[in-house]
């Protein structure tokens, strides 16, 4: 089969090459991949993984071979999944607890936006407990995770303030943000939950805005800056607040169940997915450049020729 593999000789460090077919364990289904979407974390992996390694986490496709232990969907079923690696390939072996059946009304492209970004949004918000009536602050809100966080938090009854550039303000209000500010310093009052993906000064100011007993969930550092953190930043005024780190690969089991819940929201018209660009996987360099330059809001989807 074909896969996009790391190659130091390529300008974008990827080449389409023949690789061995995946071997499935008893609890794994063989999925024929039809599309995948890009995640910002994959940009870093392209720079550090060795030649021959196959990236890719978000996949959608059709079950080609059901798991031999009887778990998971039957052959011929449309599915979405989150894998740790090797998603940029024609076929992938996927543990069935990481699979979700795609409703008929949801396209492959739309479903492909959900596994990493959607489950990150869902699981970071869970650190805030019952969000009904709570004030939630979301940094980096114009990104794929932030857009999902706004919609999910608003759907659970939270009052959402989004931090994003002014050009995104109208769009984010339409998704459910009550306020859109250009920086945390411009946000008014204290928040019981803050999702923080920028780092540096953004995290420093987040501490200034967290309510006593509230939570800041750190799940990225797009600024690349470090933040000095000390006891005196929390007292007085933010007593009992906690800093919580989040990484999807340590966030627990049942990823497939969470993807299924997100797909149900999409099918019901309660969660908007934005496919900002769609290109064949042979043109991945174009999508990677756009992702690096932050030239779109939403997700880039790669289609895999069958």
Domain end point (choices 245, 269, 285)? 245
Mean pLDDT by 10 residues, the chain (306 residues): 93 93 97 96 89 96 98 97 96 97 98 97 97 97 96 98 96 97 96 96 95 96 86 91 89 89 98 96 93 88 90
- pLDDT of amino acid 216: 98
pLDDT value for 11: 81
- Asked whether residue 113 falls in the same domain as residue 19, the answer is yes
Q: Are 82 and 97 found together in one domain? A: yes
Residues 266, 174 share a domain: no
- Alpha-carbon gap, residue 131 to 128, rounded angstroms: 6
Whether 122 maps to a domain, the answer reads no
Query: At 134, which CATH number?
Result: 3.40.50.720
Residues 230 and 205 in one domain: yes
From the CB of residue 107, how many other CB atoms can be counted at a distance below 10 Å? Answer: 15
Radius of gyration of the chain (CA): 20
The C-alpha atoms of residue 8 and residue 241 are separated, in whole angstroms, by 45
99 and 153: one domain? no
Q: What is the pLDDT of residue 222?
A: 86
Range of the domain at 41: 2-117+252-303
**Which of 245, 278, 293 represents a domain boundary (last residue)?**
245
In a domain, 73, yes or no: yes
Instruction: Mark whether 88 and 64 lie in a shared domain.
Output: yes
Domain end marker among 212, 245, 278: 245
Q: Is residue 171 part of a domain?
A: yes
- Do 13 and 162 sit in the same domain of this protein? no
Answer yes or no: is 83 within a domain.
yes
Residue 298: the pLDDT is 87
pLDDT at 155: 97
Identify whether residues 173 and 24 lie together within a single domain. no
Residue 168 lies in a domain: yes
* 213 three-state secondary structure: strand
Are 151 and 180 in a shared domain?
A: yes
Give, rounded to a whole angstrom, the gap between the first and last alpha carbons of the chain: 11
Number of domains in the chain: 2
Give the position of tokens 């039957």. 74
What's the pLDDT score for residue 248? 78
Same domain membership, residue 112 and residue 256: yes
Place of tokens 């970004």: 117
Check residue 24 and give left, alpha or beta (phi > 0: left; psi -120 to 50: alpha). Answer: beta
Q: What CATH code is carried by the domain that includes residue 285?
A: 3.90.180.10
Q: Check residue 192 and give left, alpha or beta (phi > 0: left; psi -120 to 50: alpha).
A: alpha
Q: Is residue 123 part of a domain?
A: no
- Looking at the structure, tell me whether residues 74 and 106 fall in a common domain: yes
Shared domain check, 191 and 103:
no
């Amino acid at each position: 089969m074909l896969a996009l593999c790391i190659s130091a000789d390529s300008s974008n460090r990827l080449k389409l090459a023949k690789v061995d077919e995946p071997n499935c364990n008893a609890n794994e289904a063989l999925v024929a991949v039809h599309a995948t979407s890009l995640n910002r974390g994959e940009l870093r992996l392209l720079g550090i993984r060795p030649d021959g390694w196959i990236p890719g986490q978000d996949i959608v496709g059709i079950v080609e071979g059901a798991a031999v232990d009887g778990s998971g969907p039957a052959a011929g079923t449309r599915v979405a999944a989150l894998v740790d690696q090797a998603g940029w390939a024609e076929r992938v072996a996927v543990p069935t607890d990481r699979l979700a059946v795609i409703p008929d009304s949801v396209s492959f492209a739309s479903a492909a936006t959900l596994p990493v970004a959607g489950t990150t949004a869902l699981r970071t918000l869970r650190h805030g407990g019952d969000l009904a009536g709570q004030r939630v602050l979301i940094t980096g809100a114009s990104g794929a995770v932030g857009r999902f966080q706004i919609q999910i938090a608003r759907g659970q009854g939270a009052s959402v303030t989004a931090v994003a550039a002014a050009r995104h303000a109208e769009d984010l209000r339409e998704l459910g943000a009550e306020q859109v500010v250009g920086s945390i310093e411009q946000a008014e009052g204290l928040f019981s939950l803050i999702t923080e993906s920028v780092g540096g000064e953004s995290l420093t100011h987040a501490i200034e805005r967290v309510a006593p007993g509230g939570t800041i969930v750190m799940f990225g550092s797009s600024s690349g800056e470090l933040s000095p953190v000390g006891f005196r930043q929390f007292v007085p005024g933010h007593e009992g607040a906690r800093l919580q780190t989040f990484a999807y690969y340590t966030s627990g089991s049942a990823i497939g169940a969470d993807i299924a819940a997100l797909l149900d929201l999409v099918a019901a018209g309660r969660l908007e997915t934005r496919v900002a660009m769609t290109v064949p996987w042979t043109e991945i360099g174009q999508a990677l450049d756009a992702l690096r330059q932050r030239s779109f809001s939403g997700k880039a989807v790669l289609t895999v020729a069958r």
